[in-house]
Amino acid sequence: MKRYSVFALAREAMRHHTGWERAWASPEPRKHYDVVIVGAGGHGLATAYYLGKNFGITNVAVIEKGWLGGGNTGRNTTIIRSNYLQDPSAAIYDKALKLYENLSQDLNYNVMFSPRGLLMLAQTHHEVRGYLRTVHANHLQGVATEWIEPAKVKEIVPIINIDGPRYPVLGALYQRRGGTARHDAVAWGYARACSAMGMHIIQQTEVTGVRQQDGQVTGVDTSRGFIGCGKLAMIVAGHSGQLAEMAGFRLPIEAVALQALVSEPIKPCMDVVVMANTVHGYMSQSDKGEMVIGGGTDGFNNFTQRGSFHHIEETLRALVETFPMISRLKMLRQWGGIVDMTGDRSPILSKTPLGNCFINCGWGTGGFKAIPGSGWAMAELMAKGHSPLAADFGLERFREGRFIDESVAAGVAH
Ligand SMILES: Cc1cc2nc3c(=O)[nH]c(=O)nc-3n(C[C@H](O)[C@H](O)[C@H](O)COP(=O)(O)OP(=O)(O)OC[C@H]3O[C@@H](n4cnc5c(N)ncnc54)[C@H](O)[C@@H]3O)c2cc1C
């Protein structure tokens, strides 16, 4: 694989960009791999990447029923932060944030990581108490966050109305290192790096069954035939319940649609990410100038990947008191993704009742930010049978009642 560099760019500019090679190969599947990963979203691709990079395991196939990054990874609003409450969450999300900080260099692919800062507004006294508690917890965890007063919020976000009649801004939890990255680029960067290590990314191929013998996984049935494997990882977000059923076990997961929308592009007006969890809305401005806006999940289970009109109205109605200027914007596009919600709003990175079969899911509305840390931990779990970062996120916690309750930090938005 040729490295991307300023010299490569200059060379290609001179020859009218005719010399770029394909970013990743599209090979025919082999009969057997050491590891098969189902799902070429960010988490599946990152797992493959760190299996190769950290453990030298490269006889790996990532099987994707659509196109890589076409699931939630390519549909999310790209918020990155690590200001969670519980220690295991702060550890894995902060690992992810640290990896994001150098991901472009590591992958030799510009993922457009933009640590522009992130504000979580407190608009009720209950939220003030909750976020102060999070700031204290973050300090103990070594995650830098701070509490800021309303006047400082206004200074950082001039377009905000801090004196709303229903929900005035009472302060905010501020993480300066938080921000955004380009979602497609994260998937593409990992895919290119995996392909360069000789791994197979097999798109347009649906996994339809999981085969086993004597309690051990032996491979998967796909729309292109049987593919054998030594180890299997199911990393399919909203479709996790279906894959688990194929493997013969059940998951404590609900699949619901989460949607987002963008406005017409406007001049730069907000250079931080702002989340308003009381009213279920959040907003950032993309490089193109569009206001990227997200809300809560649909109130019923579905797999439509579209979302519903009443939700757009609810989200904008909620945000307009805090951001009056958006009432004059035209909305351009709206879309949905199927997110996988656990009861404690924390992910599952785990062995399963089926031998050599692993699962990574339950990232719900907020897994984009976790992709590098999740891939790192999952690769370690698969290669060594144990990962300190994943240890608390096992499936057994639901049986043992050891919940990692992140409903405040993760249940509403991101
Ligand atoms: C509207 C929206 C906004 C969001 N905003 C944020 C945000 O701002 N910040 C944040 O951190 N997170 C956010 N998220 C959550 C985040 O997008 C997800 O948690 C994350 O992308 C999950 O990645 P993944 O790799 O697990 O799943 P996905 O990217 O969904 O990948 C799973 C893949 O598995 C494939 N698959 C499924 N079944 C099969 C099968 N049988 N055979 C083969 N392949 C299969 C799918 O086609 C899919 O490509 C948002 C999500 C949505 C929908």
For ligand 1, pick from 76, 175, 234 the residue to mutate: most ligand atoms within 8 Å of CB: 76
Indicate left, alpha or beta for 334 from its phi (over 0: left) and psi (-120 to 50: alpha): beta
Task: State the pLDDT at residue 300.
Answer: 76
Query: Whose C-alpha lies nearest to ligand 1, atom 31?
Result: 41
Distance CA 397, CA 401 (A): 6
Task: State the pLDDT at residue 413.
Answer: 54
Task: State the pLDDT at residue 407.
Answer: 78
Tell me the pLDDT tens digit for each residue of 255-300.
999 999 999 999 999 999 999 988 888 999 999 999 999 987 777 7
Contact 61, 199 (CB under 8 A): yes
Task: State the pLDDT at residue 411.
Answer: 45
- For residue 46, give the nearest of 381, 395, 413, 392 by alpha carbon: 381
Query: Whose C-alpha lies nearest to ligand 1, atom 50?
Result: 76
Question: For 214, which DSSP code?
Answer: T
Instruction: Give the orientation angle of helix 42-55 with respect to helix 371-384, to 10 degrees.
Output: 50
Tell me the pLDDT tens digit for each residue of 31-54.
999 999 999 999 999 999 999 999
Strands 60-63, 254-265: parallel, antiparallel or unpaired by DSSP?
Answer: unpaired
Tell me the pLDDT tens digit for each residue of 244-265.
999 999 999 999 999 999 999 9
3-state DSSP call for residue 301? strand
C-alpha distances in Å from residue 96, one per residue of 75, 105, 133, 300, 337: 19, 15, 22, 31, 22
Strands 348-351, 273-276: parallel, antiparallel or unpaired by DSSP?
Answer: unpaired
For ligand 1, pick from 272, 368, 371, 374 the residue to mutate: most ligand atoms within 8 Å of CB: 368
Task: State the pLDDT at residue 127.
Answer: 94
Percent of the chain with pLDDT over 90: 89
Tell me the pLDDT tens digit for each residue of 52-109.
999 999 999 999 999 999 999 999 999 999 999 999 999 999 999 999 999 999 999 9
**C-alpha of residue 125 to centroid of ligand 1, in Å:** 33
| Whole-number average pLDDT of the chain | 95
Confidence of residue 414 (pLDDT cuts 50, 70, 90): low
Confidence of residue 335 (pLDDT cuts 50, 70, 90): very high
Distance CA 26, CA 16 (A): 25
In this predicted structure, the answer to whether residue 139 has a pLDDT above a threshold of 80 is yes
What is the pLDDT averaged over residues 122-146? 96
- Name which of 37-51, 168-182, 309-323 the model is least confident about: 309-323
Tell me the pLDDT tens digit for each residue of 356-410.
999 999 999 999 999 999 999 999 999 999 999 999 999 999 999 999 999 766 5
- Name which of 38-42, 195-199, 333-337, 407-411 the model is least confident about: 407-411
**C-alpha of residue 236 to centroid of ligand 1, in Å:** 7
- Which residues surround ligand 1 with Cβ inside 6 Å? 38-44, 63-66, 70-73, 75-79, 206-207, 235-237, 239, 258-260, 294, 337, 339, 363, 365-369, 414
Task: State the pLDDT at residue 51.
Answer: 98
